[in-house]
């Protein structure tokens, strides 16, 4: 894919505007920058868990995805994927990456929300960067979203975006989905900027969590702020309604995210993958044709339990449980 937007009869593609009635905003765009041997730069689509979950919805609505392209201090012009999704980049500096992303997002919020043995770090300059980058994301979304559009904000890196968007574009319908756990109130209250963060979330129209326990934690936190809470927790439905003192109400529910299994099944059944099947058979042969193969595709992160799984595998080997 070209670094600049391709020529199109739709002159709005390059500017990122147009009939963007459905907008996804996430920390990362599904793109990678490729540098050729001659130094030429280009951009190509990249896979990922969020991509698998969100792309089918975006493709159905021919929507717009706003996010950071994954490299600092540069970004491509907005362009459409082969399946018609408009990618609208938000440029981040190296300072943004270090303080907003590696700092506040991953060294403060990540361990705090997971309630892990790793101690979260609280740094005011990281918070300032987090707030500034969230403002930048919200401003970009406000500039590309069509009147009355639905905006779906993703994950812990962008928890201030719903509140900022509500001020910039009160005509929008705003959803927020948290892809990681939401902690118990006594853990959440360790965050020095807990009030500002909560206000940012509560300006959404709908908040979704993976698990019922996450909803219970969030609802208990809101009750601690004397907010009116009604309804009951439901799966795939906003069973809980939270009403703020200013009269704004939002729904909260359990929405376990998944992937488009039908598309994967169709890909596996396609004739074009016979060649890759042969490559897998050759790989299996090169390993000595074992009867059992363990395959894992994981990010190298302490929450993935990779060390624990390797130790468990070692114990199985020592115990003889995996002997033929």
- Give the pLDDT score at 15: 41
pLDDT tens per residue across span 4-23: 333 333 334 434 445 899 99
Q: Are the CB atoms for 73 and 91 separated by under 8 Å?
A: yes
For residues 171 and 148, the answer to whether their CB atoms sit within 8 Å is yes
Query: Residue with structure tokens 């459905």?
Result: 22
Tell me the mean pLDDT in the region 236-260: 91
Both structure tokens of 101:
């992303």
Whole-angstrom Cα distance, residue 54 to residue 277?
Answer: 27
Nearest of 59, 87, 63, 73 to residue 2 by alpha carbon: 87
Longest dimension (CA), the chain: 67
Residue 111, H or E segment = helix 110-114
**Mean of per-residue pLDDT scores for the chain:** 86
**pLDDT at 242 > cutoff 60:** yes
Query: For residue 262, what pLDDT is reported?
Result: 75
Task: Please say whether the beta carbons of 42 and 36 come within 8 A.
Answer: yes
Are β-strands 240-243 and 249-254 bridged in parallel, bridged antiparallel, or unpaired?
antiparallel
Confidence of residue 2 (pLDDT cuts 50, 70, 90): very low
How many helices (H) and strands (E) would you count in the chain?
12, 12
**Distance, CA of 168 to CA of 134 (rounded, Å):** 13
Give the integer Cα–Cα distance in Å for 12 and 24: 18
By three-state DSSP, how is residue 40 classified?
coil
Contacts 24+ apart (CB under 8 A), 162-167: 162/200, 162/201, 162/202, 162/203, 162/204, 163/199, 163/200, 163/201, 163/202, 163/203, 164/134, 164/135, 164/138, 164/139, 164/200, 165/138, 165/141, 165/203, 166/203
Q: What is the mean pLDDT of residues 295-302?
A: 76
**3-state SS class at 87:** strand
Match 């792309």 to its residue by tokens: 55
Above 50 in pLDDT, residue 35? yes
pTM: 0.81
- Which CATH code is given to the segment(s) 12-254? 3.40.50.2000
Range in 70-74, 157-161, 164-168, 276-280 with the lowest mean pLDDT:
276-280
Q: Is 18 helix (H, G, I), strand (E, B) or coil?
A: coil
40 vs 220: which has the higher pLDDT: 220
Give the bridge partners for 175, in sequence order: 152, 206
> pLDDT band at residue 324, thresholds of 50, 70 and 90?
low
- Residue in 151, 154, 155, 158 with CA at minimum distance from that of residue 137: 158
Q: What stretch(es) of the chain map to CATH 3.40.50.2000?
A: 12-254
Judge whether residue 82 has pLDDT over 90. Answer: no
Number of residues assigned to the chain: 324
Compute how many other C-beta atoms are within 10 angstroms of the C-beta atom of residue 178: 19
CA-to-CA distance for 27 and 134, rounded, in angstroms? Answer: 10
**pLDDT tens digits, residue range 133-173?**
999 999 999 999 999 999 999 999 999 999 999 999 999 99
Q: Is the pLDDT of residue 278 over 80?
A: no
Do 62 and 21 contact (CB within 8 A), yes or no? no
């Amino acid at each position: 894919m070209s670094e600049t937007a391709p020529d199109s009869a739709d002159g709005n593609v390059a500017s990122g505007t147009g009939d963007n009635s459905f907008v996804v905003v996430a920390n990362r765009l599904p793109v990678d920058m490729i540098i050729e041997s001659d130094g030429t730069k280009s951009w190509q689509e990249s896979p990922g868990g969020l991509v698998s979950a969100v792309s089918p919805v975006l493709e159905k609505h021919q929507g717009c995805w706003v996010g950071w392209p994954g490299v600092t201090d540069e970004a491509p012009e907005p362009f459409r994927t082969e399946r018609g999704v408009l990618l609208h980049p938000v440029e981040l500096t190296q300072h943004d990456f270090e303080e907003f992303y590696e700092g506040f997002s991953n060294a403060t919020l990540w361990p705090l929300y997971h309630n892990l043995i790793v101690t979260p770090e609280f740094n005011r300059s990281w918070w300032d960067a987090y707030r500034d980058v969230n403002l930048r994301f919200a401003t970009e979304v406000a500039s590309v979203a069509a009147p009355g559009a639905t905006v779906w904000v993703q994950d812990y890196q962008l928890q201030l975006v719903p509140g900022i968007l509500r001020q910039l574009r009160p005509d929008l319908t705003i959803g927020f989905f948290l892809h990681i756990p939401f902690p118990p109130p006594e853990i959440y209250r360790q965050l020095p900027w807990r009030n500002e963060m909560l206000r940012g979330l509560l300006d959404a129209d709908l908040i979704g969590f993976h698990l019922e326990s996450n909803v219970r934690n969030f609802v208990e936190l809101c009750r601690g702020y004397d907010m009116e809470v009604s309804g009951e927790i439901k799966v795939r439905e906003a069973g809980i309604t939270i009403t703020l003192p200013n009269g704004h109400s939002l729904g909260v529910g359990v929405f376990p995210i998944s992937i488009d299994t039908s598309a994967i099944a169709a890909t596996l059944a396609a004739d074009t993958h016979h060649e890759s099947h042969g490559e897998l058979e050759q790989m299996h042969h090169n390993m000595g044709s074992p009867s059992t193969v363990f395959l894992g595709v994981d990010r190298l992160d302490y929450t993935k339990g990779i060390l624990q799984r390797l130790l468990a595998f070692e114990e199985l080997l020592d115990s003889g449980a995996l002997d033929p």
